[in-house]
Structure 1
Amino acid sequence: MRAMMPRLAPNRPEDSAPSGHMTALCTHVAGERRFLRSPQRARSFERRVTGSEHGARMVEPLVLQLGVVTTAQLAALGWSKWQIERAVQRLVLVRIRPGWFGQSPDADALAAARAGACIACFSALRLRGAWVPQGSGAHLRHARHRAGARCRPFGAQPPVRSVVDDLGTAVRSAFRCGDREALVVVLDSLLHRRLATLDELRTWAADAPARIRDLLAVLDGRAESGTESMVRFRLWRLRIGVRIQVRVLPGMRVDLLVGERLVIECDSREHHTDGAAYERDRERDRRLVARGFLVLRLSYRQIHEDWPAIERDILAIIRRGDHRFARRNQR
């Protein structure tokens, strides 16, 4: 009976250490040992396949999780051409196209490889941990530019050598592909989650137009959610002064503060399913109102679907001067 198919990616976080990252391939090694004539050759073979720490550093865990690898990446992990061909014959690996192989591949990664492309731009940024706005769709980058294809970076276009673009290439493609608000949201999240520094973003934006480079001055890595970045940017476009993550009471910070007393709290999508968070937020709102603050709590859906109405309400509050304590106390 054929041995169980090994996985390209570890199943547990602790398996990602260099010493054990290819442990799952031992199943494949054991299946090949009967073709080796001596124990010495068998041990040498196992070291080549499972002991390549350099290969572990060359092939990203994300690539292994997506289940699509190239011949070069398999070679970095210690696979010879002979071993790759035997794995294909035994259905351990599936040949997607020349030089590209899969093992229980992710659907998007498989589609990209079949198209001669890689996951790019906003799709790659989402996989790498950035907060990406809903409705961004699937973004692919092809090895050669195709007419009408937007997902290509400003500056040099690197060859497609992996199923997902590296962070720098993904950001450079997003500069061309995204609108200003989407870019602020994504780049804020990269800064907040420490996936990139402002200096790195400046380097990646070097070949982008001035309108993109100027946008970097608007970024703020203190933003704790994409919805918060959206609202801040929309208020900035309206030339409304807004402060972010302001401590207004002992032990209490608010998402956004307009003027002296208009507090805007921006809930994420996940927030709506957390009962404990719901209770905490109502307690916060009560304490803020008791101290004279005016609180607007905006849901994820409202920010995405009802912004014109929200904008009208915020402008009405500001025109009345209700965002300031001083005017209110003079009445």
Structure 2
Amino acid sequence: MHWNSLTALALVAPASALLRFGCSQLVVERVDPLVNPGVSPSPHLHQIIGGNAFQLNMDPKVDIGETATCTTCQFSEDFSNYWTAVLFFQHRNGSVHRVPQIPNAGFEGSAGGMTVYYMQDGLANYAQTSKVTAFKQGFRMLVGEASYRTKAEAKRFRQITYTCLENIGTRFPETMDFPKKPCKAGIMANVRFPTCWDGKNLDSPDHMSHMAYPEQGTFESGGPCPASHPVRVPQLMYETIWDTSAFNDQSMWPEEEGKQPFVWSMGDKTGFGSHGDYVFGWKGDSLQRAMDSPCYVNCPTLKTQSIATQNKCSVPKVVTEEVDGWLDAIPGLMPAEKKA
């Protein structure tokens, strides 16, 4: 479904709460305070958006909604941090190049980054009538597994997908692995998080066990939460558009038929290792207020800032290494690994 269709229907639908907003790039580096706190550099490269309280160690007892002073997100009360791995193109000669991110439709001028959604119901339900409980201070979670390389493994996580963009509005079809052909307008990586919380733990050792999927189906199907995780929380979703158009010359692609040239920063050439990290940081009760208000894309109960302002927010890099231009290897990986 094209986003323009959703926008048009929103004008006539009795909409409740669905937030869709752009966030500019905060930093691109090998830091991961959720999985590898205090480790510098972390095993693989990430692209991070959100508040400037992001750092090597993020104590869950510290309210980043109060300590951050700026955010790269449209809603200026959202100091959360959101991150994913980084996409690289591997040339036929073995060298690699980071694929740039471009803003989604409606967020032109944003310095890379992602589009973030918080939904009461799936995008197909324009009314957004379900009630959800906003995440709490100190909450964090992870979805996906960086080490997965097969479809059978990746099926553990519902709705981590890719869209080969014909144009900026393309949304279907979605695949679980990397597209096998050049995509005219880039590759959109979609990450959707589980929507059922145990109601007790703000985190868990694997950063996943305190969350669960509905008993059957997906968030969009309206399935009930399991008894072990009875609290329904917003559907959190990331869309990252990787501008692969500069790499569509198939003379640079692998010579082997059916092979594609893109690889995640942890060395995954299949796409099945896609994952997303989240550290909650909305100021005060602003997210719950939004979820309880008639917000559809825009939200009058939240403060907003201009794209120019969000582009100015940044953090100093902790890890000094080259991540752009043509490189011999993806940062953190040995050349032998990237050619494997």
TM-score normalised by structure 1 residue count: 0.23
Structure with higher helix content: 1
TM-score normalised by structure 2 residue count: 0.22
